[in-house]
Amino acid sequence: MGRYIESVCKMCRREGMKLFFKGNRCYTDKCAFERRSYAPGQHGQGRSKATAYATQLREKQRVKRMYGLMERQFHGYFKKAERLKGVTGENLLLLLERRLDNVTYRLGFADSRSDARQLVMHRHLLVDGKNVNIPSYLVKPGETVEIKEKSKNKARLNTALETVERRGIPQWLELDKAHYKGAIKALPRREDITMPIQEQLIVELYSK
């Protein structure tokens, strides 16, 4: 799988919004997007009129990067969303929200999705008491996600939990902070996703 190895702050600047790749740093005045909110590169501050295709592509790239996916994996989610009942764009976002790495981030066990992915892959998490090290695992209502006993003393995990109130926890999840445990109360809804995403643009792009 390909991997992005340049500064992640450049991606926020390119997409024109904070994607919170660096967790708590993104809430401070050290945030690169706060200091330079224009696109990176020599022509980053130049004015250009975006075509309809460019707008659709930008939206797809923004969401793909937000959830830390590669193109093939993201397109796979779109195909799966098409097969589900309901609105394809909303189905896509709700599938992405149910990923275990995203749920780990949403519960506050990590202050970025990349950190959450590491927690999952390094076997620090249990789902219903069982080891799950697959970031793309889709959680279901009634399941619990908890930190292993021997991993509860990790400094980055506890730092993330201390500041979880700043991000807020969506209504479909419930956090038991004292016991390092979270519960999936229900499936996510479109209104639970507060980032400014126009999913219909992604549908239009892939429908060409």
Q: What is the pLDDT of residues 178-194, one digit of tens each?
A: 999 999 999 999 999 88
The per-residue pLDDT for range 106-155, each reduced to its tens digit, is 999 998 888 999 999 999 999 999 999 999 999 999 999 999 999 999 98
CATH number, position 133: 3.10.290.10
Instruction: Reduce the DSSP state of residue 108 to 3 states and report it.
Output: coil
- Do the domain assignments include residue 72? no
Q: How many domains does the chain have?
A: 1
- Do the domain assignments include residue 121? yes
Instruction: Tell me 99's DSSP state.
Output: B
Which range among 4-8, 17-21, 198-202 has the greatest average pLDDT?
Answer: 198-202
Continuous H helices in the chain: 8-15, 32-35, 52-66, 71-83, 88-97, 100-106, 113-121, 155-162, 164-167, 199-206
Instruction: Reduce the DSSP state of residue 166 to 3 states and report it.
Output: helix
pLDDT band at 11 (very low <50, low <70, confident <90, very high): low
- Do the domain assignments include residue 76? no
Best CA proximity match to 178, nearest among 125, 94, 122, 108 = 108
The per-residue pLDDT for range 40-64, each reduced to its tens digit, is 554 455 556 778 898 899 899 889 9
- Do the domain assignments include residue 119? yes
Report the pLDDT value the prediction gives residue 8, as an integer from 0 to 100.
58
**Is the full-model pTM beyond 0.85?**
no
- Do the domain assignments include residue 25? no
Report the pLDDT value the prediction gives residue 39, as an integer from 0 to 100.
61
Neighbours of 109 (CB within 10 A): 29
- Do the domain assignments include residue 128? yes
| Position with higher pLDDT, 79 vs 18 | 79
Q: Which domain covers residue 120, as residue numbers? A: 99-187
The per-residue pLDDT for range 85-111, each reduced to its tens digit, is 999 999 999 999 999 999 999 999 998
- Do the domain assignments include residue 35? no
- Do the domain assignments include residue 125? yes
